[in-house]
Amino acid sequence: MKKIFSILICSALFAQGAIAQGALDLLTYSRYFSGGTARATAMSGAFGALGGDMSVLSTNPAGIGIYRGTEFTLTLGPSFVTTSSKLNGENFDEAASFFRLNNIGYVHTWKPQSERKLRSFTFGFAYNRLSDFSSAAFVDTDVPSSLVEDLTWDANHGDNGQPLQEGRLDDFYTGPAFDTKLIFHDPDNSSDNHYYNDYSSEGNYLQPMKRTMTNKGGVGEYAISLGFNINDRMYLGATWGIQSLYHKESYLHTETPSFQYLDEFQFRSDYTVTGTGMNFKTGVIFRPINMLRLAVSIHTPTRYSLRSELDTEMDAYYKEPIITSDNANHYNSLSPIGEGKFKLSTPWRYSAGAAFIIGTFGIIGLDAEYVDYATAKFRPNSDYRNINREAAQIFRNALNLKGGAEFRIGPVSLRGGAAYYGTPFAQEHFSSDEFDNEGIISFSGGVGIRGRGVYLDMSYVYTKYPPHYYDLYRQNPANNAWLSSVMQEKKHAVNFTVGLKF
């Protein structure tokens, strides 16, 4: 298996107890997907030129100028994630469910008393969920390698290729391994500073290994918008966006080698990132004829101020006879809470769209969005120059395409759509014998019922992610060879919106 870049890598790298962020964080926090109301998600978010929906406050704020009155919406719903993992020719399927708030919003429209070109202006406030990090996966198989070998290598080569002193072992990785006796100095040669482990004495081995992995959180935006309707031909709008980010990445690694001394060990890692960011959006919708609307919008980078936390825990269980002088067969080591602060900025985003109004029978929306992920950066650049340079080489620009349609039959509306989110990875940094450098594709559908002053909408969105690698640990640290699982995620999201018109 040939691999230049592993998509799912450990997001945090730790050296001397300090936290540094990996290039993958830049991508994870810069990719947004169709969110908002059930009506918008049923049409795959293709509302840039249509407007008149709470989702446009976070995409093309000019669409707020389409509103004619006062409106309130609330959108809730569950999502279901299935992950297929493959390792050593075995397949492992996992599923998880989550419940989330997808949208809540309010708009109010004012109309001038006298007849003017400015027909109305609208103020709106909404929360829209832009991305969802939720997932769960596992692998459970026999492997001829161990995380302990990686731990031992790090301890032996962490000081410019020389073994680390015990006091300089990593508080989050090699330190807990030493505290739980998984790695140790040779008791027969106290002058030798090299570290050893029970796996070394076993020679060639095959032992059970299990790892469970979960991700939680997402990005939501609080959008404060103002829009204008000029002569029912041009609509202008702007949004001040305040984004809230929460991401928790966890895994539990278990090995049960049943050696002469070591019976089992577990390693738990929890990495959490929280924070807020701000951006500005502006857009315009032009209606040259009644049945056609054309739109463009631009989003400034979101500048995040983020905080990260890491804690790890190691448990090791040993058989009799006791191998240490303190007469114990269970050792536990809990790391301190590693805290870090960092800033990052996402790329500029440019969108264009067209919408077709088919009388009172239906509508069609088409959107295209351009994002250059290579321009995402940690700030200040002087502190993260190497990571930013790596990201600029690994990532590329991408085109996201969305299309949706709605057809009305009396008070009932039927909707459908599809979206394609182009790959953010440069081809020269993505090479695999197992899969291609693909984007993300989603299909959606839904139904809505309109009444007097109230409406109810429902949508279903299916999203298929391309296969990717998940690196478990270095099974041959000297050659930087990783034990990697191939994973593929599929998400099913259901949204319910209740809307009130005043």
Give the number of other CB atoms < 10 A from CB of residue 43: 32
Q: Which pLDDT band, with edges at 50, 70 and 90, does 306 fall under?
A: very high
Mean pLDDT of 85-103: 94
Residue 105 and residue 70 in contact, taking contact as beta carbons nearer than 8 Å: no
Is a pLDDT exceeding 90 seen at residue 490? yes
Within a domain: 277: yes
Pairing mode, strands 71-87 and 481-501: antiparallel
The residues near 405 (Cβ < 8 Å, ≥ 6 apart) are 43, 362, 363, 364, 365, 415, 416, 417
Within a domain: 180: yes
- pLDDT digits 0-9 by tens, 416-436: 999 999 999 888 776 566 677
Within a domain: 5: no
The model's pTM is 0.90
Range of the domain at 197: 12-501
Mean pLDDT of 78-93: 95
Is a pLDDT exceeding 50 seen at residue 18? no
Q: What pLDDT, on the 0 to 100 scale, is given for residue 14?
A: 29
Residue 256 and residue 242 in contact, taking contact as beta carbons nearer than 8 Å: no
DSSP 69: S
Within a domain: 488: yes
Q: Which pLDDT band, with edges at 50, 70 and 90, does 204 fall under?
A: confident
Mean pLDDT of 225-251: 97
Q: What percent of the chain has pLDDT over 70?
A: 91
Stated length of the chain: 502
Residue 290 and residue 347 in contact, taking contact as beta carbons nearer than 8 Å: no
Is a pLDDT exceeding 90 seen at residue 69? yes
Task: Between 63 and 474, name the one with better pLDDT.
Answer: 63
Q: What pLDDT, on the 0 to 100 scale, is given for residue 497?
A: 98
Is a pLDDT exceeding 70 seen at residue 325? no
Within a domain: 7: no
Q: What pLDDT, on the 0 to 100 scale, is given for residue 113?
A: 77
Q: Which pLDDT band, with edges at 50, 70 and 90, does 192 fall under?
A: low
Within a domain: 465: yes
In terms of average pLDDT, the best of 216-230, 309-323, 385-399 is 216-230
| Residues linked to residue 476 through DSSP beta bridges, in sequence order | 481
Domain total in the chain: 1
Mean pLDDT of 193-199: 84
Within a domain: 2: no
Is a pLDDT exceeding 70 seen at residue 289? yes
CA distance linking residue 59 with residue 40, whole number of Å: 11
- pLDDT digits 0-9 by tens, 339-351: 999 999 999 999 9
CA distance linking residue 60 with residue 241, whole number of Å: 12
- pLDDT digits 0-9 by tens, 46-64: 999 999 999 999 999 999 9
Q: Which pLDDT band, with edges at 50, 70 and 90, does 261 fall under?
A: confident
What CATH number does residue 110 fall under?
A: 2.40.160.60
Q: Which pLDDT band, with edges at 50, 70 and 90, does 197 fall under?
A: confident
Q: What pLDDT, on the 0 to 100 scale, is given for residue 242?
A: 98
Mean pLDDT of 129-157: 93
Q: C-alpha distances in angstroms, 279 versus 282, 289, 300, 301? A: 10, 32, 6, 6
Mean pLDDT of 160-165: 84
Within a domain: 443: yes
Is a pLDDT exceeding 90 seen at residue 329? no
Q: What pLDDT, on the 0 to 100 scale, is given for residue 13?
A: 30
